[in-house]
Structure 1
Amino acid sequence: MKIYVDADACPVKDIIISEARKYEIPVILVTSFSHYSNAEQPAGVETIYVDSGADAADYRIVKLVKKGDIIVTQDYGLASLGLAKGVIVLHHKGFTYSNENIDQLLQTRYLSAMARKSGQRTKGPKPFTAEDREQFRDHFKKVLSSEKSN
């Protein structure tokens, strides 16, 4: 099992790394070259850099991920592709994408895009809070514990 992180805008990378280390699960951060850093990563963490193209990180993750792996992303399209490959897909606000909720999430995204295209203003995502961080941490720990016991 590996954990792949859509890392460009992921606000919980530190949580993912610290919790994954407890279970000795490798973490792969996939990010664009525009976020390049010389910072040394902790043991068990690898960074893969991709072009800055719109979905370059998503395509690399889909190419690398295997059944039984975990993806952390806020991108519904990547989540849908991950589910199709049989992986666990988590959102950084502390929920698991599923075959039951992905269609509704994609439909809502589509309708919002159409509304914006026609000149309407739509609400963006709510700000990420400390409560969201803790909700993610709790959910992530449960998922890791469950997967490691299987």
Structure 2
Amino acid sequence: MTKVIIDGDACPVINSVIELTEGTGIFVTIVRSFSHFSTVEQPEHVKTIYVDDGPDAVDYRIVKLAGNDDLVITQDYGLASLLLNKTKIVMHHKGYVYNHQNIDTLLEQRHTSAQFRKSGGRTKGPSAFTEQDLVKFKSAFSSILQDQCLNKEE
């Protein structure tokens, strides 16, 4: 794995990713809009790229940055669908990996909900990120890192 790229505007696992990649030789790139600017100092293996606040500006930059061996973390199904054929792994911050089997269903559900809201209906937003979600993410991410490190040695 070359690097981890994080869709950083609303990602609750940034600190966990930084912590879990420390000392692994894996670089982390966080892409954020200027409206989420932070002056927090990051470790050497982490860099933050800021982009304009325009719609999908973060997504466009991530697509441009992502390479074959990268892992991208995003909650955006549309971005995930664009990256499936471009990167090694696309992961949600709740710990599941996007793939060709689940992305169509996720996009269809998103579209159906949008149509329902457009016609005046109300839908619930995503459920709150919980401590259990964080534990699940850390476990899944650690497994991926371990698999990648083992594959490097072969």
Q: TM-score range by the shorter chain?
A: over 0.9
**Residue deviations 1:79-134 (CA, integer Å, cap 9, x gap):** 11110213300100010000110000000000000000000111111111000000
C-alpha distance in 2 between matches for 1:109 and 1:147 = 31
The aligned residue for residue 75 of structure 1 is 76
Q: Which residues of structure 1 form unaligned runs of 5+?
A: none
Question: In the alignment, is residue 64 of structure 1 matched against residue 65 of structure 2?
Answer: yes
Figure out how many residues of one structure are paired with residues of the other and give that number: 150
Partner of 1:4: 5
- Matches of residues 1-150 of structure 1 in structure 2 within 5 Å? 1-150=2-151
Q: Say which SS state the counterpart of residue 24 (structure 1) adopts.
A: coil
Counterpart amino acid of residue 148 in structure 2: E
TM-score when normalising by structure 2: 0.95
Determine the C-alpha separation between the residues in 2 that align with 1:86 and 1:140: 16
Over the matched positions of the two proteins, sequence identity in percent amounts to 52
Q: Which runs of 4+ in 1 moved over 3 A?
A: none
Matching residue's letter, 1:15? S
Q: Which deviates further from its counterpart, 135-144 or 83-92? A: 83-92
